[in-house]
Structure 1
């Protein structure tokens, strides 16, 4: 059965559920491309709930929800940068990411953004590539003392002038 979640704006009170989505996406999906110590550094079992809530409120994501269950979330900042893009580990490859990506493209168009960019995990790079993003640079960011490789990916949109790399 094809999923038909709806995309809605973030609401105060979603923060802890979005942590669960983030944690499950990394521990259940990204685990195939990263070592256990990388997974634990990226999404540790313990998190400061206030710091997490503040970050989520700051990025103000869109939320994919079906029958009251949050399945994923993603944001688009005014400069075209995607800070978070996560689908729950319980719902991979069911169209949730595509719905979120479509909503981010709609948001980019309404903001007049010329280019979208994201720091994309190894796991998500094929998905972003299917949506027209190109790898600009492979990166080796360090979190909690552990290198967690990712790639800067960009997509030039229909109007405006793209930024130089």
Structure 2
């Protein structure tokens, strides 16, 4: 596996990873209506391309294809963090989380936050995040459930030094 920065031309493969993560993996925790509201297959390509170019995520390649991607914004917010259904529990998420932490350190970011799905919550907990509050965002008229999660990177450093 290799991790790299987003490149122009990755957008289509990232869309497939997003759809796979939501439609195939998260479907065990959300209804069909919630899945379609969260990750509609009819997102306008130009909207998706623009969003990915704005996020500039890290991309994991495995076996010649994109297996997952994640971003970190200058304020420490992780907007997208998705792993393809073809690569579950194979270290893709951990590799991405490690790269997000490295980037946070490089940028001097003191805390990470993310709005995390029910499906991803155990993964984020294992990586030292804590639930701040439960959320019920509405997408396309359908109520979803997620959690705002936070990790104080200064506390993590102090804990590791002890």
Q: TM-score, normalised by structure 1?
A: 0.92
How many correspondences in the alignment?
Answer: 155
1:10 to 3, 6, 11: 6
- Partners of 1:45 and 1:67 in 2: CA distance: 25
* Structure 2: runs of 5 or more not aligned: 156-162
Structure 1 partner of 2:141: 145
Structure 2 partner of 1:119: 115
- Partners of 2:83 and 2:41 in 1: CA distance: 18
**Superposed structure 1 runs of 4+ greater than 4 Å apart:** none
Structure 1 partner of 2:68: 72
Does residue 81 in structure 1 map to residue 92 in structure 2? Answer: no
- Partners of 2:149 and 2:3 in 1: CA distance: 24
- Partners of 1:87 and 1:41 in 2: CA distance: 19
Does residue 22 in structure 1 map to residue 18 in structure 2? Answer: yes
- Relative to total residues, which structure has the larger helix share, 1 or 2? 2
CA distances 1:98-138 after superposition (whole Å, capped 9, x unpaired): 00000000000000000000000000000000000000000
More divergent stretch after superposition (27-36 vs 40-49)? 40-49
Q: After the TM superposition, which residues 40-59 of structure 1 pair with which residues of structure 2 at under 5 Å, given as runs? A: 40-59=36-55
* Structure 1: runs of 5 or more not aligned: 160-165
Q: TM-score, normalised by structure 2?
A: 0.94
Structure 2 partner of 1:156: 152
Does residue 109 in structure 1 map to residue 111 in structure 2? Answer: no
* Partner SS for 2:151: strand
